Amino acid sequence: MCHPARRKATKRAMLQRAILESWMPSDRQSLPIVRSVASLGAALAAMRRPGERLALVATMGALHEGHLSLCRIAAERAPFVVVSIFVNPAQFAPHEDLATYPRNEANDVAMLAASGATKLVYAPTAGEMYPDGFATTVAPKGAAEGLETDFRPHFFAGVATVVTKLFAQVGPDFAIFGEKDYQQLQVIRQVVRDLDLTIDIVPGPTLREADGLALSSRNAYLDTRARKVAGSLNVIMRDTAVAVARGADIGDALSKGRAELSKAGFDSIDYLEIRDATTLRPVTDRALPKRILAAVRIAKTRLIDNMAV
Ligand code: PAF
């Protein structure tokens, strides 16, 4: 006669195996995908070894080599890498590109499977992330003030809220964020610090095309002419940064940089600024690390970039 506790444990193990098999892809080009908080918890319980370190790479999909490099950094830190794919409505204003944001989950998952670093894909639905009655927002200030916020006032509350939820749902030891979205990286570091979250935020360097254009999912919007112009953004930013590093007046260098951007063919410049690299406040001490940050528009595309000065 089987002991009731053993019978219960066997039943639980059988249930876990059945659940696991239901996410497991039939072909080896794919990865297990879970779409709810409950199945995420069950998948982690079934797939992760006790005490195994976990790293999260949070994405909105439309993956490119930049995201895969974040997964590789994640795998260097932790054997269990979870990639989340969620186009977060809360970080788009009504007039922005939520509806047209590039989505190709099958391709994303195939890329992650081929790159080998990822163990599990978490792709929740909007209803799962923001169920009826959802009414709490993480509203960061500090590093979130100015720059992007001057043009996308809703953006960092949307990002901070979804990232805090992802942290609570996935429970990572590490989370990797690209330096491409430098203000976002600083805001997330601040949220983690301010809310006493025990997660190591690890930055991933920006990957660039041959002409220096930072890899971005939104580069897919660029037509041939816009793509050509886009390549000059990093060149003008680098020239401006070099001038300041060599002692030029920051205001003068930025005015020259803005004029160069207009001449290169960008339709408008949201900002081209040099800021304290940690606080993102205007530079008061030139000896402290500085960052040049830009957001520009060409045709229907808004590009952002940044680099150390
Ligand atoms: O950088 C992104 O792709 C998004 O802002 C993030 C961090 C996944 C939150 O939706």
CATH of the domain at 55: 3.40.50.620
pLDDT of residue 111: 96
DSSP-assigned beta bridge partners for residue 177: 203
Q: Select from 56, 163, 217 the residue to mutate for testing ligand 1; criterion: most ligand atoms less than 8 Å from CB.
A: 163
pLDDT of residue 77: 97
Residue nearest to atom 1 of ligand 1 (CA): 59
Task: Match 């696991």 to its residue by tokens.
Answer: 20
Are 264 and 174 part of one and the same domain?
A: no
Residue among 117, 34, 107, 30 at smallest CA distance from 68: 117
Ligand 1: which atom is nearest the Cα of residue 59? 8
Are 259 and 198 part of one and the same domain?
A: no
Q: How many angstroms separate the CA atoms of 307 and 291, rounded?
A: 6
Are 273 and 173 part of one and the same domain?
A: no
Quote the mean pLDDT of the chain.
93
CA of 161 to the centre of ligand 1 (A): 11
Q: How many angstroms separate the CA atoms of 249 and 261, rounded?
A: 18
Q: pLDDT at residue 24 above 80?
A: no
Q: Could you list the active site residues? A: 67
Are 82 and 225 part of one and the same domain?
A: no
Are 149 and 257 part of one and the same domain?
A: no
DSSP state of 177: E
Residue nearest to atom 5 of ligand 1 (CA): 159
Q: Is 240 exposed, middle or buried (0-12, 13-18, 19+ CB in 10 A)?
A: buried
Are 95 and 240 part of one and the same domain?
A: no
Ligand 1: which atom is nearest the Cα of residue 181? 1
The beta-strand segments (E) located in 60-110 are 80-85
Q: Select from 59, 92, 306 the residue to mutate for testing ligand 1; criterion: most ligand atoms less than 8 Å from CB.
A: 59
Are 165 and 291 part of one and the same domain?
A: no
Quick check: CB of 175 below 6 Å from ligand 1? no
pTM for the structure as a whole: 0.91
Q: Select from 159, 161, 164 the residue to mutate for testing ligand 1; criterion: most ligand atoms less than 8 Å from CB.
A: 159
Identify the three-state secondary structure at position 202: strand
Q: pLDDT at residue 209 above 70?
A: yes
Q: pLDDT at residue 290 above 50?
A: yes
Ligand 1: which atom is nearest the Cα of residue 188? 7
Q: Domain residues for 237?
A: 217-308
pLDDT (tens digit per residue) in 115-131: 999 999 999 999 999 99
Quick check: CB of 59 below 6 Å from ligand 1? yes
State the total domains in the chain: 2
Are 193 and 270 part of one and the same domain?
A: no
Q: How far is CA 241 from CA 79, 217, 288, in A?
A: 38, 25, 14
